[in-house]
Structure 1
Amino acid sequence: IWRQVQEETGAMTTVLQENLSGMRVVKAFGARAYEESKFNSRADAIARLTYSATRLFASQGSLMTFIFTSATGAILWYGGREVAAGRLTPGELASFILFMGLLGMPVRMSGWLMNTLSRASSAGQRLYDVLDAESPVTEKPDATPLPRVAGHIAFENVSVSYDDSVSAVSNIDFEARPGQMIALLGGPGSGKSTIAHVIPRFYDVSEGRITIDGHDVRDVTLSTLRHNVGIVMQDVFVFSASVKDNIAYGLDDVDMDEVVRAAKIAQLHDFIKGLPDGYNTWVGERGVTLSGGQRQRLAIARTLLLDPPALILDDSTSSVDMATEHRLQEALDEVTRGRTTFVIAHRLSTVRKADLILVLDDGEIVERGTHEELLERNGFYRGIYDLQLRPQDYSPDAAPVALGGDS
């Protein structure tokens, strides 16, 4: 029963956390009554289970008391007869009853102990389920630290499967030389983010291998690998801390000038100066006081402060306006110079300057080349170009490719 109580408590806590995090969505859809019903249903289930467990424990205590009281009464009746018959002295009877009383407390405590152990074991089992879960990505026992790299990244016939049957990407083969910009384009589910996320080993490849400066990423320690590969996520997570702590996340003894420089490059410094406490301003739970664009720029500043030789920008300018994107792009052009950069973007204006553009469809590379080379082929990329940058020349014969969404 206590395991069921733990499971229902976890479910109720999840409902509460989702409501607090998604408060604006709940209000926007007028779903307060629906969410209250969900929460009350979980709370009622916990109350019923707790009542059942408590009643069972209480009945055990009452039963033990009844048994000992009945036993004491029986001993008094039988012992009294033995004393009257002269076969037992009054002192012996009193001593026996005293020992029975001393034995009663440990027996009653054993019932309480069993109940406590039952509660602890149910909670402990759920805890060990988490602690014993094996990560799909692990370090080899003999993994070596990866020194600061030049940024030569090669995919050698890489395939990635999230399960045994479906491949997210297949037969990916290309190389990025130090300082090159590689752009990844494609529709939802085409594998753009998967390719980007296997470089820092958020997932492991199913076939083939990925090397950085000749080192297989599976042969080096995760911490040194991820210090060499910075990534700006599409879905930005902001910690409940100050602006400075969020920008300098994971770094010790960071000079304030470096934090300010990263914020300036990310076009965030002017906004921070206008905050009540500047860089020491608390941003709230998950950065609730910041807009989507401000959170994205904060994530860019956080990654730039890490100063990685390889950089992954996973649609990192999707939540900023066009004017800010233009300024941000100019700054990023300066920062990405000399770094191997992977760019996932929905706007061709962001990727047309890339040294190599990979167009993906259904987990495979269907086109590769520079902007000019791909335009001449009249394929997928030309279809995207006609839709985005030349709407006035758009023809029904153009090959449309939908961009957007997670991949």
Structure 2
Amino acid sequence: MRILLVNDYAKPPDVPGGTRHYSQARRLIDRGHDVLIVASSANHNTGTHKRAPHGLFWYGTEDGVPFLWLRGLTYRRSILKRATSMACFAVSILLVLGVLGKGRKFDPDVVIASTPHPVGAVATAVLSRRWGRPLVLEVRDLWPASLAAHSRLPKWLTAFLSLFEGYLVRSAAAVTFLPNRVGEYIRSTYPTARVRLLHAPNGFDSSLVETALTRDVNSPDLVRYVGALGRANRLDVLIHAFSSLRDQGIESRFEVYGDGPERPALERLVSAFELTDQVVFMGAVPKAQVPEVLCSTGALVMVVADQPHLYRYGMSMNKLFDYVASGRPTLVVSSSETPIDQVPDVLVCRSYDSSQVAEALARLIARSRSLGDGRSLPMIDYAYLNFEVGRVVDALEVLLSQVVISTWAVRER
């Protein structure tokens, strides 16, 4: 099959960002398929562009995976610029793939339009219909539901954005989704839509992890967070908890890998608690280096924001699966259920109270010390059995084949 995959934020592993589509494309290419990823050149984590010459678009191959980069706009802490960036990506899709014919030149058998934001996906759907090619919609996040949960959207705007979602679902031959209960939402919201559904969660790429698993652990007392620094990541909860650990005389060090709009405020909080020697901001690292960072620490931690209305259809953050693949003890602070709650050596704290989180951190560090330089083999076994990206690609390949075969069967009637 020839597969065209469009996602604004798709990234190769040599830069910070999500590598889901890169990893899937590599597996599909290894199985004999042709894949072209269309993505924005802008990296919003770093405010830079990916191999950006002067021009509207350019081709590149990232470790055997073809990319068509569309020049995008970077933004930091600006809703207006973010909206403009989304609109520009959609226009670039229509211009480069449609008017300039780069999409038809690739001549896909199937087109995958990936969210989270629906604007680029709508532009992709328009082109797939014009080309007469089946559309597969990948729902990474429910818009406008998730957007409304993070900000106070006017009702008219929520209703307007819902039209985009409805158009995409009704245009698709199939819908894949990351959060595990999104299928329920689609069936109940669009009961007349005749689409195949596939739960295709995030996962980890074993090709990026296997070498890192041989790394020595720097210190059992070292705890790391790897991910974005936004409001939803609630690192302030952890800073308060590490302050409590310090006051209790429990030795620990907290390293934060990542960047985002909340970093300045978090750094001020660290200074206010006089924790600058204990809590250190390391900055963002390319995805290819993330497994090494995860596997060389004593323990790992993350916080899921207390927004049960947002996560009522599930969650599928990349870091969840990258963490468990490391085989190091992990603490998840979350009032909602997560996909890794039942994984061996994953501790769960349902409270955001600093004293209770500190107590959970103390247990986490104790478990890390008991492991020493070793790894939790039950944790790694569980990760490979349930979360390795190859398992997702197995199901995706079958779905794409069914969609293409069904489309040709209809045409030949």
- TM bucket (normalised to shorter chain) is under 0.3
The structure with the greater share of residues assigned to helix is 1
Structure 2-normalised TM-score? 0.25
Structure 1-normalised TM-score? 0.25
Name the structure, 1 or 2, with higher relative contact order (CA <8 Å, separation 6+): 1
Bigger Rg over Cα: 1
